[in-house]
Amino acid sequence: MSTIITPFTDRRMAEIVEKVRSGERLNLEDGVYLYQTDDLLTLGQLANEANLRKNGKKVYFIENMSLYFTNVCESRCAFCNFRKDQGEEGSYTLSGPEMIEYVEQHIHPGIREFHIVGGHNNHVPFQYYVDSLKALNERFPDVTLKAYTAAEIEFFTRISGLSTKEVLEELMKAGLKSLTGGGAEILSDQYRQKMKVDKANVDQYLEVHRTAHQLGMKTHTTMLYGAIESHEDRIRHMMQIRDLQDETGGFLVFIPLSMQPKSKNAGIMRRNSAYEDLKTIAISRLMLDNIDHIKAYFINIGPQLTQVSLSFGASDVHGTILKERISHAAGALTPEGLTRKELVWLIQGAGRIPVERDTFYNEIKVYE
């Protein structure tokens, strides 16, 4: 496929098309312009062209489960409705055996990954987090542990007195294979101050992933958009991720996360528009030329828009998930998970080839 430049494509967009086609990296001004343009179809075609060069028509998914050991959290981020105080109604902290009991009630033989995140619970020691992974790894040795955000890792250094490298090494001994992407929010300290992101700062987030990559671990990374940040903030976020990827090559995928309101009853004016979601996916594909995959996260944007996003640069639709809680604790109106059959149907319906993968994008099964 080749992007069609029409008489309605302005000069600036035509210049960006030529930069992408010639392999020239987009800069800050290019990225901001792409947010400002109303030429959504040319933007989508260009992102689709870039994705097809990297991945062909293959679109990836994984059979996974989302697990949450605790929702008790010392941080009070302005956008979070998942966290609880210790002792507050609805708060919980599960032991390893309790989590194993939960998993055994819901797991099926196709599950390949546990996606584990939770609160920054300072009422338990670091060893609790190590033992949580160890218990799962011993009981389910064939399931990959993708666990904890960079912000959680930074929190662990504070409650343990260990360095980032030492924390990661202890968790790796317990079975950790990859980090989740959360905790990035917007990589701007000004944004984090305004949004009361009382956890890892920009440098700490990036340093955790840098250290993980140096230890041989491949990781995931995100951007939570749709609050007070500017389009320039978003592009600067992507460029910082791109710079670290140039340095380490350790990121597997970039995941733009559309922010959810705090109430399921919130009207459409309190949510990101489909237009903004598609633009962000497409721009992510074009800016992050050194990351193989851009994920469309159906939990936040819905299955139908996820399907459309496969023509706007996305090459991954995440996984089966099973009972997602963080976005749904806010105002997400989407399903808490999808089955393998539904994901295959969704991808094929977009004219793409579904590929079941493992955590590291090794292909398990191609659904021709």
Q: How many domains does the chain have?
A: 1
Output the average pLDDT for the chain: 90
Can you name the residues that pair with 221 across neighbouring β-strands?
254
Question: Of 28-37, 324-333, 339-348, which range is least confident?
Answer: 324-333
Q: Is the pLDDT of residue 324 over 80?
A: no
The answer to whether residues 193 and 146 touch, using CB atoms and an 8 Å cutoff, is no
pTM: 0.91
Q: Taking residues 308-335, what's their average pLDDT? A: 68
User: How many other C-beta atoms lie within 10 A of the C-beta of residue 76?
Assistant: 12
Beta strands in the chain (DSSP E): 58-62, 64-67, 113-116, 144-147, 176-178, 219-225, 251-258, 293-294, 316-319, 353-357, 363-366
Q: Is residue 248 part of a domain?
A: yes
Q: Is residue 30 in a domain?
A: no
Question: Residue 14 domain-assigned?
Answer: no
Out of 7-11, 68-72, 172-176, 205-209, pick the least confident. 7-11
Domain with 152 in it: 38-366
Which has the closest alpha carbon to 145: 179, 183, 191?
A: 179
pLDDT tens per residue across span 71-99: 888 877 776 777 788 889 888 999 989 99
- What contacts 284, CB < 8 A, 6 or more positions away? 223, 238, 254, 256, 294, 313
End-to-end CA distance of the chain: 20
Rounded to the nearest angstrom, the gap between the alpha carbon of residue 101 and the centroid of all alpha carbons in its chain is 27
Helix (H) or strand (E) run with residue 301 in it: helix 298-301
Residue (of 283, 313, 315) closest to 37 by Cα position:
283
95-115 confidence digits (pLDDT tens): 989 999 999 988 988 899 999
Q: Does residue 53 lie within any of the structural domains?
A: yes
77 carries a ligand binding annotation: yes
Q: Is the pLDDT of residue 184 over 80?
A: yes
The gap from C-alpha 150 to its chain's centroid, in whole angstroms, comes to 12
**Phi/psi class of residue 92: alpha, beta or left (left: φ > 0; alpha: ψ in -120 to 50)?**
beta
Report the 10 Å Cβ neighbour count for 164. Answer: 20
Instruction: Identify whether 28 is part of a domain.
Output: no
Annotated binding residue at 80?
A: yes
Residue 12 located in a structural domain: no
Run of H or E residues at 28: helix 28-36
pLDDT value of residue 320 = 80
Report the CATH number at residue 187. 3.20.20.70
pLDDT over 60 at 190, yes or no: yes
Q: Is 73 annotated as a binding residue?
A: yes
pLDDT of 268 reads: 55
Mean pLDDT of 122-138: 95
Q: Is the separation of the CB atoms in 242 and 206 below 8 Å?
A: no
Residue 94 lies in a domain: yes
Looking at residues 267-289, what average pLDDT do you find? 87
